[in-house]
Amino acid sequence: MIKLEHISKNFGYVKVFDDFTLAFPEDKITVILGPSGCGKTTLLNILAGLKPVDQGVATKAEHVSYLFQEPRLLPWLTIRENIALVLKEKMEPSWINRQIRENLETIGLSRYADCYPSQLSGGMRQRAAMVRAFSYDAPLLLMDEPFKSLDVKMQFQLIRDFLTLWQQKKRTVITVTHDVQEALWLADEILVFPEKPVKTINKFVIGLAQAERTQDGRLADIEKKLLDLLLK
Amino acid sequence: MKIFMPNHKWVGGLAVLCVFWGWQIAAGLIQLPLILPTPKQAFVQVLTLLVTKDFWHHLGATLGRGMVGFGLSLSVGMIIGIFAGQNATVNAFFRPLIILMRSTPVMSVIILALIWFKRETVPVFATFLMVFPIMVQNIIEGIRSVDQDLLEMVEVFRVTGWLRFTRLYVPSLLPFLAVGISVGLGITWKVLIAAEVLSYPRWGIGTQMDTARVYLQTDKLFAWTLVVVAMGLVFDYVLDYLLKKPFKTRKEAVHD
């Protein structure tokens, strides 16, 4: 189980986390909502093992997969080679090939497997990065605003593809965003971060499966509460 | 409608033609082959040289020295450049040395080398000392140009060692390496011939040039110069071909 117990983290004189405790439910999607500079990215860096905590205990996963805001594909490798790169020397070649083929197939990307990133549109590139993130065998997937700067339709399609992959390869997902709509589409749990320093948070648990969240206003009251908190 | 596009290869050819034309006119006006032979005389001399057995020996000796000097600069430059590009302390150590090497006059190096080494080694040493700083600087730049976002990505996904080096660093380095090699090779031939003229090795184009000067065989001097220029051009073309090839496999864009 991924958890943070009584952690504190400072950047110079700025206190980002102060005696903060939080546990993330296994194989669920936790969305962290909050204003810019509230310590969302710091939290991801701590969980990814890129930054240490000053005090307290962070129980992390042994391996961590990551979906960035940008696709971050190597421009000189094809989509297939890009995905294979993070698996090489860790897995059997036959396993790698099958994994890549199946995951590309799942979101209809198979025919672009041998294309270079520059030959694909932005949305396609991010899909490829998504396949890479899910092909990498890790119990935890961290995401840093992966659906930002896309138009609403594209954002919806990418989230739909993301959920398809996630249904097949369930794992704990922790994602940060400031987009309320995105949070409502994705989350099992929404955490609203306050201004710094983060000590306590507001938690919303959504009991509805992601696939059943149509636009019939069933999440309207949660949406209103989220907006109230963010606009406060 | 067809738009007129100048063929740039053709324009380049015209420039070369202009140089020969000017040379021809100047030689015609001077009328003294001892001062300035005509292009024809120079080319006839090249042909005369080509059929001698010694020509290939001289050419081979110069080529060999060039390759050794350049190869040393490239390999040592790679090793030091890769470390200095990643580590600020290593860079701080080598930086003054590189600046020192870069600002030392070629002639100081050659003359000192004449005192220290055998005559066969002097051109190689001088070439290394002149070309190495160029290689190292380009490789440091290349290593520093590696995209920080991509570096973070391979860090998170634990792509390490050889795989990280060959898939991330080498391709990022390639354009810088191409510039380094191209500039470095150009300087190699210049320094090499200068060093050979002064150190006078038994076999070598520089030696032949100085001999031609002593006997006032100006046409021969021109002929050897043409040979060196041709050699440089051949290397440039081969290099161009080799470095562009890996990028030519990219197909046309396909969008969804």
CATH code assigned at B127: 1.10.3720.10
Report the Cα–Cα distance between both ends of chain A, in Å, rounded: 32
Give, as one character, the DSSP assignment of residue A69. S
Instruction: State how many domains chain B has.
Output: 1
Interface A-B: count of C-beta contacts within 8 A: 59
Report yes or no: A187 and A158 within 8 Å, Cβ to Cβ: no
User: How many other C-beta atoms can be found within 10 angstroms of the C-beta atom of residue A159?
Assistant: 18
- Split at pLDDT 50, 70, 90, the class of A210 is confident
Considering only CB atoms, B153 lies closest to which of A72, A76, A88, namely A72
Is residue B20 one of the residues assigned to a domain?
A: no
Residues in A touching B253 (Cβ below 8 Å) = 118-119
Residues in A touching B159 (Cβ below 8 Å) = 85-86, 88
User: How many other C-beta atoms can be found within 10 angstroms of the C-beta atom of residue A188?
Assistant: 18
Is residue B219 one of the residues assigned to a domain?
A: yes
A112: CB partners within 8 A, 6+ apart: A79, A104, A119, A120, A124, A128, B254, B256
Residues in A touching B250 (Cβ below 8 Å) = 116, 118-119
Is residue B213 one of the residues assigned to a domain?
A: yes
**Which domain does B175 fall in, by range?**
36-246
Per DSSP, the three-state class of B224 is helix
Q: Please indicate whether, in this complex, the C-beta atoms of B256 and A124 are within 8 angstroms of each other.
A: yes
Peptide bond into A197 cis (omega under 30): yes
To test the contact with chain B by mutation, choose from A64, A74, A87, A157 the residue with the greatest count of B C-beta atoms within 10 A, namely A74
Report the Cα–Cα distance between both ends of chain B, in Å, rounded: 31
Per DSSP, the three-state class of A142 is strand
What domains can you pick out in chain A, each with its CATH number?
2-63+138-231 (3.40.50.300), 74-137 (no CATH)
**Amino acid (1-letter code) at residue A88:** K
Residues in B touching A86 (Cβ below 8 Å) = 157-159
Per-residue pLDDT for B250 more than 50? no
Is residue B1 one of the residues assigned to a domain?
A: no
pLDDT of residue A217: 73
ipTM score of complex: 0.88
Q: Please indicate whether, in this complex, the C-beta atoms of B255 and A121 are within 8 angstroms of each other.
A: yes
Q: Does A150 touch chain B (CB under 8 A)?
A: no
Is residue B27 one of the residues assigned to a domain?
A: no
pTM of the model: 0.77
pLDDT of residue B245: 64
pLDDT digits (tens, 9 = 90+) for B210-244: 999 999 999 999 999 999 999 999 998 898 888 77
Per DSSP, the three-state class of A95 is helix
